[in-house]
Structure 1
Amino acid sequence: MPQRGNRRELLAEAAIEVLAREGGRGLTHRAIDRQAVVPEGTTKNYYPTRSALFQAAAQYLADQHTAALRELRGRVPDGLTGEHVVALYAAMLRRMATSARAQFLALFELHLEAVRNAEVSAAIGQIVRADVDTAVQLNTAVGRRMSRRGAGLLDAGMLGVALSMLSLPEDLVSEIGMDAPEVLARALLSLGSVEDEPPVEVLRDFAS
């Protein structure tokens, strides 16, 4: 948790916890005050509107996420293999449903808010760009071609799998294989690194 001296970060992290537990409708100034254990009215002093609360939570997540991935990209080890990349993405999927559960539940709420809030959308865009940059670099390092379009598809797939893992009944998660991180990671990476994109004509025929 952020140090008490950094009140804005403290409140933003509290907002994430509230979003994860109570959803977007439960994100109020009073709920954040209670979560952060600060005097009533503190959150409103820093973030006067509900829109500002969403923006603060989104930007905090974006800053934390992009910093972590920047560090990862800066220390890609020699000898990295495709299996290492699979293991990394499988670990990410496990983390989405365990230690980072609150952050991802909040992220899904923020995706909904982003439909109507340009500032929240911009913050989520920072997260996706960092994911895409990382996917391209890691796959390039192991000799696997992945375009930014493919990396975007991989990122959307990871988010969709996380949503299923967190929202579906456990028996259904098991039935449809959403509880097999290694298998899912391998499939999503393969989907994102397809060498040849289908011609536009094929896509038009498929969509018609």
Structure 2
Amino acid sequence: MTQRGNRRELLADAATEVLARDGGRGLTHRAIDREARVPEGTTKNYYPTRNALFEAIAHHLAERHVAALEALCTHIPDDVGPDHVTALYAAMLHRMSGNARAQFLALFELHLEGVRNPEVRALLGRISRASVDTAVQLHSAVGRRISRRGAGLLDAGMLGVALSALSLPRDLVGELGLDDADGIGRALLSLAATRDHGALEVLTDWAG
């Protein structure tokens, strides 16, 4: 990778951290310069406008997300079973509020920006399509079928649960069971693979 490529990646990483920590209002060229520890004006040379900043972050997260899911699908073990898939989605929920918290907070900010910015919206679509494709492939690998609509519901449900778990008061998160990654993972997978007429029963079973 060229030095310029390395600098772009450095700035995109720093911009992701700033967006996650300070939100859209705090996403400034100077804040990214400080986060990346580069001379003032560096970020503006690479990404002259705020739109360019948002698009750079969206592109950065999309590249990482798609690459990770492609690697996952390329190395699905021959003995993978339904329990492994359930554990994987539970682990994803744990990561959203754990060591990948900054990336997901930035992603939620991008979803708000995507309402107004078509370039960001297109990159978010790339992330969602990769998640849907992966869900379909994983279910197929364990001998189960899931439609793309079901996989889309699963993706949206994962994001919604993660957003609530990160933004709601902790006592309410616990009261609603939104910190039960294993249980929610099972419920979302079951709901996604169930026809509409069975959805209520799936949710009722999870609610206990």
> Cα deviations across residues 40-62 of structure 1 (Å, max 9, x unaligned)?
00000000000000000000000
- Check whether the contact 1:85–1:138 (CA below 8 A) recurs between aligned residues: yes
> Cα deviations across residues 70-106 of structure 1 (Å, max 9, x unaligned)?
0000011111111110000000000000000000000
Instruction: State the alpha-carbon separation in 2 of the partners of residues 5 and 134 from structure 1.
Output: 28
RMSD: 1.2
Instruction: State the alpha-carbon separation in 2 of the partners of residues 14 and 88 from structure 1.
Output: 28
Map of 1:79-98 to 2, 5 A cutoff? 79-98=79-98
Q: Structure 2 regions of 5+ residues with no counterpart?
A: 198-208
Alignment match, 1:29: 29
Cα displacement (A) at 1:4:
8.6
Q: Match for 2:77: what amino acid?
A: P
Instruction: Give secondary structure in 1 for the equivalent of 2:124.
Output: helix
Alignment match, 1:42: 42
- Check whether the contact 1:4–1:10 (CA below 8 A) recurs between aligned residues: no
Alignment match, 1:174: 174
Cα displacement (A) at 1:159:
0.1
Count residues in correspondence: 195
- Check whether the contact 1:97–1:165 (CA below 8 A) recurs between aligned residues: yes
Q: Structure 1 regions of 5+ residues with no counterpart?
A: 199-208
Instruction: State the alpha-carbon separation in 2 of the partners of residues 32 and 103 from structure 1.
Output: 15
Alignment match, 1:68: 68
> Cα deviations across residues 18-52 of structure 1 (Å, max 9, x unaligned)?
00100001000000000000000000000000000
Q: When the two structures are superposed, what TM-score results if normalisation uses the length of structure 2?
A: 0.91
Alignment match, 1:204: none
Instruction: Give secondary structure in 2 for the equivalent of 1:6.
Output: helix
Alignment match, 1:201: none
Q: Match for 2:173: what amino acid?
A: V
Instruction: Give secondary structure in 1 for the equivalent of 2:99.
Output: coil
Q: Match for 2:16: what amino acid?
A: I
Instruction: State the alpha-carbon separation in 2 of the partners of residues 39 and 108 from structure 1.
Output: 29
Q: Match for 1:110: what amino acid?
A: L
Cα displacement (A) at 1:133:
0.5
Alignment match, 2:202: none
- Check whether the contact 1:147–1:193 (CA below 8 A) recurs between aligned residues: yes
Instruction: Give secondary structure in 1 for the equivalent of 2:39.
Output: coil
Cα displacement (A) at 1:142:
1.1
Percent of pairs with identical residues: 71
Q: Match for 1:142: what amino acid?
A: V
Alignment match, 1:120: 120
Q: When the two structures are superposed, what TM-score results if normalisation uses the length of structure 1?
A: 0.91
Map of 1:122-201 to 2, 5 A cutoff? 122-194=122-194, 196-197=195-196
Alignment match, 1:203: none
